[in-house]
Structure 1
Amino acid sequence: MKIQKEIIEFEKGKSFKLFAPSLKNCFFWHYHPEIELVYVEAVNGIRHVGKNISGFTDSDLLLIGSN
């Protein structure tokens, strides 16, 4: 799978963007210069961040630096 650069466009006067996907959405491997804060509400699985592969569970909070 090819890694894609994600372009995040902010609304005028806003310093962050809220994205609340459901499990039905298809996620793609991506990178961007923005910091990403991820909260996992009620599910578990495996996440791939850079060269790290680790598990996640419900109520997980992850801060990912720019990449």
Structure 2
Amino acid sequence: MTTTTISVEGMSCEHCERTVGEALRGVDGVTDASVDREAGRASVEGDAEPDELVRAVEDAGYTAHA
């Protein structure tokens, strides 16, 4: 299993963290996701491709970079 870290911009509260985490956990191949709004990043476990993770976060309304 791989851990991928992506940068996430635009999170300002706990609701934002939850939204991003739910979006990431909804990606096929993701087994867990941890989101830190203060650090502006998310750590994702599983075998999903980084571009799929970025797309999920952007679809949830935030900016992301692998």
State the TM-score, normalized to the length of structure 2: 0.25
Q: Which has the higher contact order (CA 8 A, sep 6+)?
A: 2
Q: TM-score by structure 1 length?
A: 0.25
| Bigger Rg over Cα | 1
- Richer in helix (by share): 2
